[in-house]
Structure 1
């Protein structure tokens, strides 16, 4: 009976999510000109949402107190209370502090006005006269994001209810077990039967737990992929900004690039955790120099070390040590330890990395020491647990997902090594010790030097002089716009397509040398498009590059089999774009 109730509760979850997705949401249209309000309504009514009008900022605030709105379309220039003042008052209310606002203006706004609008919560600007397709697509995207948030809230609530039901079920199981033990004293036959029932129930519980764990890992991998999509236009915009500054030092640019790289690194960590849990993380062992591994780790951790003004000292054995290992993964191990030391040490603290060769045990021992917050004795055994942070107090929180040390332990163990932590207590710093078996080098063997962990393995190609014809295909208009703008600023001729059904026709008209093709598009995938183009006569010289959030080995194999020449993981790096555009010059024989 309890299992039936649990099944019914779970079955209601997708129904509730479907109802939330089907119900129209409220969109507030604010403009002092009735004609414009009619225009907005005519443009947005095909979306099937509930459109609510307000003729002034005050009327809009009154409506916001009465109902919930997914989006606000707000005129900048209004009498009495302009759009900026209205937006400020709207976002002062906790209920609407995150409600997206699209500003509508009939005059060109300055960069300062745009900055003011974005500080007040604007997500975009629309110029008058309004282009219906652009406005409709922007609103549609924001409405879909609002629905996804609502679905997530429902899912969280349903998971909480399910957890309570499981707890009640476990309590009932415990009562049944106690009763079975009491009856076992009365009759051995009854006791044996009850024990068999208990084993069967536990087996079913383990199967359920394994299913939940599998779904969690799939969710983590999918989440990491989906997070890469909005990162692509951000990375493109930063690359455009760097091109505009002609390489001049810009602290703001460097800060944004550093933070975006950190976000990409956290996404990569999520993917690695999911791969390890599913047994899909494969090492590529080769002869690797210990000094090269540690140099790469220091380079990755350099922003954290420099950002905290730390004094860093590295000591290596007199003779270089050669390991049989995956150099990129080992660099990730020591970079995570250095990042951890920098995060939990006061600015200007001393951080040391020392490597010694243990001849007796034929292994290399690497210590990472800091003088940071240290660890209480009862916390030493917890630091390597997934999603665990050594200090979660708000005033001392250093951010992160709590998976860096878990990856350190798992990757080290995959190399037949071990990792341990020592600390004299809170306020006395910590020492993380990694032990790795040494592998004697074979005669004539060469050391493999793969790309540093977390860095896309591409170099900027010089290429012959001239211009490439580049076609950008992505259903995400922001990603397509920013990538096309970047290519154009590199001096190449570029066009873009957001509808996958129009790609072949545009290829025939434009005759591009290079095609940047998004893989995951609604209605038609990039795989289908690549296969279609490769099947056409005279298109063998066209360079086709996959741009996708999926970067597993099996994903790269799949794009290669579909006819792609290269595989870029979102967000693509500027050097990769520059190299590919340069290499594509003159590939098309029709030119």
Structure 2
């Protein structure tokens, strides 16, 4: 969370000189000296100024002397208890927004918690204290305090800049009016961006004061905002890939790998949030295990190629049928394969095995066991018990080298559980490699594998030359619109980029496009409004509408379909997906008749 706050503060640091991380003041209030020493031992690694107070009265005195970013307040103190102290603190206008973390050694009732929150408490910490939890809570609040101070400085600088501009405007001659208008426009743009950042920070602070479920909503918003700059980067790489015309380019491969890693981390974060909130819905269907494993291998193959690993497959002669979500189940095995690749030295052998097992004691007696076996760094007994914990990293040095948030194995476990299965890990110790076993219920029916087509024979319909499409790309982000339009042109179609949602209808009347890529989150007029307007006119009823957005949850897809979109595409768009959309549009019967 602290990392996201630092990312959100880029505008402030761009306008003021870069500063080192300044320590803030943290007030520790407890009548027990031993507990005060404990607080200090836990919080001193943060590098902030820790100030002790042995009572509520002394705490009030300290507050009058200096400003504090956060207060750690014992509930049960003789004389003035924590609740009374908190009430007096927040009655003072200077301290009404100072966050308070209550510390209690006894279980508090819901009424006590409600009373504390009404008094302005940020959170509760129970004794015995878990150091990591207390340290992370204080670190987040200290970082928020620093950011608020930075905002105040930036606001003061902006106010001074505005006054200087107004003074200079009064003195300048008419010849300088054009230059002054440009300066004012630039300043207005900067002010708008700053206000957006301030609004986002205010919403983030509000979510921190609410329940834990509100934090998951912040993760979803953060991932969406990060997808917007990722879209033009992905488009640019796709354009470069098309320009290379099949030639090998190590720099291209490197950039695509790293961008895919970033997108995957965002997706993993959102998946964990959905599972935690109980909003992960599986799209179950009869699913062939072999197809699931093939998709998982395709996903992990770039990392295997990068490190020269040998992948050995041992699969049953006949396929196994599951009642599962094929996409989510492929994600389980892809994460396990990526994990094996990251924790193995280059050029090692990694095995992917699958076998049927009879487990009479289980509700579904027929089970399939899928194992991923590596020869990597292995695990000691302590790590075997915690390897599936959220944000747990087996070896920080490996994670730093290959990227990761420590949530891949957590997703493996929870997605497996959603499928009614179980995942376990075995290792003989450090340096002895690991074996991850996923046990899943499967159908009693075993499907025969389809026969392979004879060499040289085509099973598809002969391809016919198709007329290039007329494609319109609408996005207020010029980089995203231009790069996606360029990608479509390199695929052999006519494409036009449009940045203003207000003139879409006029462009459609002028060029009668076959396909429109339409951004949803545009200022002044959303993509939903544009889609509804197009569907209400004869010229827009038959055009294929594709929503392009950073939001990709089930509710977002439902909203786009209700607005009249034919398909929902999550940023950054993939080259193969864009190519498939164009190809399928060319093959539509109504368009084929038009070509003929």
CA–CA distance in structure 2, aligned partners of residues 311 and 275 of structure 1? 34
Does 1:268 pair with 2:357? no
> CA shift at 1:395, angstroms?
9.2
> CA shift at 1:311, angstroms?
2.4
- 1:420 maps to which of 417, 424, 443: 424
> CA shift at 1:276, angstroms?
0.7
Does 1:410 pair with 2:499? no
Q: Would you say the 8 A contact 1:383–1:389 is kept in 2? A: yes
> CA shift at 1:511, angstroms?
2.7
> CA shift at 1:318, angstroms?
3.9
Residue 243 of structure 1 aligns with which residue?
242
Instruction: Summarize deviations over 1:146-201 as a string: whole Å, max 9, x none.
Output: 78778889999x89xx99xxxxxxxxxxxxxxxxxxxxxxxxxxxxxxxxxxxxxx
Q: Would you say the 8 A contact 2:376–2:431 is kept in 1? A: yes
Change (3 A) 1:2 1:237: farther
Match of 1:545, SS state, is: strand
> CA shift at 1:295, angstroms?
2.0
CA–CA distance in structure 2, aligned partners of residues 313 and 581 of structure 1? 36
Question: Normalising by structure 1, what TM-score?
Answer: 0.65
Name whichever of 13-22 and 220-229 sits farther off: 13-22
Please show how residues 28-427 of structure 1 align to structure 2 within 5 Å. 42-48=181-187, 140=189, 211-361=210-360, 362-393=366-397, 397-427=401-431
Instruction: Summarize deviations over 1:422-470 as a string: whole Å, max 9, x none.
Output: 222222222212111222239xx9999xxxxxxxxxxxx9785223222
Q: Would you say the 8 A contact 2:548–2:569 is kept in 1? A: yes
> CA shift at 1:578, angstroms?
2.9
Match of 2:215, SS state, is: helix
Instruction: Summarize deviations over 1:488-527 as a string: whole Å, max 9, x none.
Output: 2233322222122222222223332222110111121100
Instruction: Summarize deviations over 1:397-427 as a string: whole Å, max 9, x none.
Output: 4321111000000001011111111222222
Residue 175 of structure 1 aligns with which residue?
none
Residue 97 of structure 2 aligns with which residue?
8
Change (3 A) 1:477 1:8: same
CA–CA distance in structure 2, aligned partners of residues 590 and 292 of structure 1? 37
CA–CA distance in structure 2, aligned partners of residues 544 and 152 of structure 1? 30
CA–CA distance in structure 1, aligned partners of residues 229 and 401 of structure 2? 26
Change (3 A) 1:45 1:402: same
> CA shift at 1:289, angstroms?
2.1
Structure 1: segments with no counterpart, 5+ residues? 28-36, 50-139, 164-207, 449-460
CA–CA distance in structure 2, aligned partners of residues 588 and 399 of structure 1? 47
Residue 470 of structure 1 aligns with which residue?
471
CA–CA distance in structure 1, aligned partners of residues 192 and 407 of structure 2? 30
CA–CA distance in structure 2, aligned partners of residues 392 and 144 of structure 1? 40
Structure 2: segments with no counterpart, 5+ residues? 1-83, 91-95, 100-119, 121-143, 163-175, 361-365, 451-461
Q: Would you say the 8 A contact 2:512–2:539 is kept in 1? A: no
Change (3 A) 1:321 1:568: same
CA–CA distance in structure 2, aligned partners of residues 589 and 355 of structure 1? 48
Q: Would you say the 8 A contact 2:319–2:449 is kept in 1? A: no
CA–CA distance in structure 1, aligned partners of residues 319 and 592 of structure 2? 48
CA–CA distance in structure 2, aligned partners of residues 431 and 418 of structure 1? 14
CA–CA distance in structure 1, aligned partners of residues 156 and 592 of structure 2? 50
> CA shift at 1:24, angstroms?
5.3
Please show how residues 417-456 of structure 1 align to structure 2 within 5 Å. 417-441=421-445
Match of 1:486, SS state, is: helix
Residue 190 of structure 1 aligns with which residue?
none
Change (3 A) 1:358 1:479: same
Q: Would you say the 8 A contact 1:20–1:151 is kept in 2? A: no
Q: Would you say the 8 A contact 2:509–2:539 is kept in 1? A: no
Change (3 A) 1:554 1:242: same
Does 1:538 pair with 2:539? yes
Instruction: Summarize deviations over 1:319-349 as a string: whole Å, max 9, x none.
Output: 4322222222111111111111110111112
> CA shift at 1:356, angstroms?
2.3
Question: Normalising by structure 2, what TM-score?
Answer: 0.64
